[in-house]
Structure 1
Amino acid sequence: MTTPIGNVLVLGGTGFVGRHVCEKLHRQGWRITVPTRRAINAAQVQHLPRVTVIEADVHDPAQLLSLLQGQDAVVNLVAILHGSEEAFEKVHVELPLAIAEACAADGLRRMVHVSALGVSQDAPSRYQRSKANGEEVLRGASLDLTILRPSVIFGAGDRFLNLFARMQAVLPLVPLAGASARFQPVWVEDVAQAVVASLRDTDLPMSSVGQTFECAGPEVFTLADLVRIAGRHGSRQRAVLPLPDALARLQARVMEMLPGEPLLSLDNLDAMTVDNVATNQWPGLASLGIAAASVHTVAPTYLGDHGARSRLLAYRHSARR
Structure 2
Amino acid sequence: MQRIRQICVIGGSGFVGSAIVHKLSVAGYDVKVLTRRRESSKHLILLPNVQVVECDIFNDTALSGHLHGQDAVINLVGILHETSQARFDKLHAELPARLADICCKQGVKRLLHMSALQASANAKSAYLRSKAAGEAAVLARAREVDVTVFRPSVIFGRGDQFLNLFANVVKILPVIAVAKPHARFQPIWVEDVAHVFVASLENISTYGRSMDLGGPQVYTLQQLIEFVAFLLGKKRRIVPLNDKLSYYQAYVMEKLPVKLMTRDNLFSMEVDSVCAAPVKELFGNSTTALEAVAPEYLVGDTPRGAYDRFRSLAGRTFGRR
TM-score by length of 2: 0.89
In the other structure, the counterpart of 2:67 is: 68
Asked if the contact 1:235–1:304 (Cα under 8 Å) also holds between the matched residues in 2, the reply is no
Deviation per CA, 1:128-149: give whole Å up to 9, x if none: 0110111001111122011111
CA shift, 1:278, in A, is 0.1
1:276 corresponds, among 273, 278, 290, to: 273
Distance 2:5 2:301 in 1: 39
Distance 1:99 1:284 in 2: 30
Amino acid at match of 1:138: V
CA shift, 1:109, in A, is 1.9
In the other structure, the counterpart of 1:216 is: 214
Alignment RMSD: 2.1
1:32-51 equivalent positions in 2, closer than 5 A:
32-51=31-50
Relative distance call for 1:11 and 1:198 in structure 2 (3 A) is same
Secondary structure of the residue aligned to 2:61 is: helix
Amino acid at match of 1:276: S
CA shift, 1:237, in A, is 4.0
CA shift, 1:306, in A, is 5.2
Distance 1:237 1:105 in 2: 58
| Structure 1 unpaired stretches of 5+ | 312-321
Distance 2:91 2:106 in 1: 21
Asked if the contact 1:194–1:285 (Cα under 8 Å) also holds between the matched residues in 2, the reply is no
In the other structure, the counterpart of 2:261 is: 264
List 4+ stretches of structure 1 deviating above 3 A. Answer: 306-311
Secondary structure of the residue aligned to 1:8 is: strand
| Structure 2 unpaired stretches of 5+ | 308-321
CA shift, 1:167, in A, is 1.2
The alignment status of 1:230 with 2:252, answered yes or no, reads no
Asked if the contact 1:121–1:132 (Cα under 8 Å) also holds between the matched residues in 2, the reply is yes
How many correspondences in the alignment?
302
In the other structure, the counterpart of 1:191 is: 193
Distance 1:5 1:137 in 2: 23
1:161-200 equivalent positions in 2, closer than 5 A:
161-200=163-202
In the other structure, the counterpart of 1:316 is: none
In the other structure, the counterpart of 2:317 is: none
The alignment status of 1:130 with 2:130, answered yes or no, reads yes
The alignment status of 1:146 with 2:145, answered yes or no, reads no
CA shift, 1:236, in A, is 1.9
Asked if the contact 1:172–1:238 (Cα under 8 Å) also holds between the matched residues in 2, the reply is yes
Asked if the contact 2:33–2:53 (Cα under 8 Å) also holds between the matched residues in 1, the reply is yes
CA shift, 1:45, in A, is 1.2
Relative distance call for 1:69 and 1:220 in structure 2 (3 A) is same
Asked if the contact 2:75–2:113 (Cα under 8 Å) also holds between the matched residues in 1, the reply is yes
Deviation per CA, 1:262-290: give whole Å up to 9, x if none: 1100000000000100023xx95735222
Asked if the contact 1:177–1:245 (Cα under 8 Å) also holds between the matched residues in 2, the reply is yes
Relative distance call for 1:287 and 1:160 in structure 2 (3 A) is closer
Asked if the contact 2:71–2:108 (Cα under 8 Å) also holds between the matched residues in 1, the reply is yes
Asked if the contact 2:4–2:71 (Cα under 8 Å) also holds between the matched residues in 1, the reply is no
Relative distance call for 1:201 and 1:41 in structure 2 (3 A) is same
In the other structure, the counterpart of 2:314 is: none
Distance 1:292 1:91 in 2: 29
Amino acid at match of 1:144: D
State which drifts further: 14-23 or 244-253. 244-253
CA shift, 1:173, in A, is 1.7
Percent of aligned pairs sharing the same letter: 43
Asked if the contact 1:214–1:285 (Cα under 8 Å) also holds between the matched residues in 2, the reply is no
Deviation per CA, 1:81-120: give whole Å up to 9, x if none: 1116981110011000110111111011201111111111
1:80-91 equivalent positions in 2, closer than 5 A:
80-83=79-82, 87-91=87-91
Deviation per CA, 1:274-316: give whole Å up to 9, x if none: 0100023xx95735222110111111111122546969xxxxx
CA shift, 1:164, in A, is 0.8
Asked if the contact 2:167–2:298 (Cα under 8 Å) also holds between the matched residues in 1, the reply is yes
Asked if the contact 2:216–2:279 (Cα under 8 Å) also holds between the matched residues in 1, the reply is no
Secondary structure of the residue aligned to 1:45 is: helix
Distance 2:243 2:129 in 1: 22
TM-score by length of 1: 0.89
Secondary structure of the residue aligned to 1:180 is: coil
